[in-house]
Amino acid sequence: MMTDDLAFTSAAELAAMIARRVVSPVEIVDLVLARIEQTQPTINASITVCGHEARAAALFAYAARSPVSCRGAPRSRRPAD
């Protein structure tokens, strides 16, 4: 899917696409941040852009959906008997 198409996709459809693993939350955040950077000088609509925080949250969400993710917590496995 083209990134321009994603920019005009509803939040509900984006959520469904993320759930189906068509796109990742990181891709969506990167797209939105790029569009803010591109349009901000012209439309001057954003006062504060928390790009680092948004990307960190997207990375966390992406890691959390992985079946092998431990969300950063160390884990040990008991040996099989």
Give the C-alpha separation, 48 to 5, whole Å.
25
9 Cβ contact list (under 8 Å, min separation 6): 17
pLDDT of the residue at 61: 87
Question: Residue 75: what pLDDT?
Answer: 45
User: What was the pLDDT predicted at 45?
Assistant: 84
Question: What does the pLDDT read at residue 65?
Answer: 74
Mean pLDDT in order along the chain per 10 residues (81 residues): 77 91 92 90 86 91 68 48 54
* Runs of H (alpha helix) within the chain: 3-7, 11-19, 25-43, 51-64
pLDDT of residue 27: 93
pTM of the model as a whole: 0.69
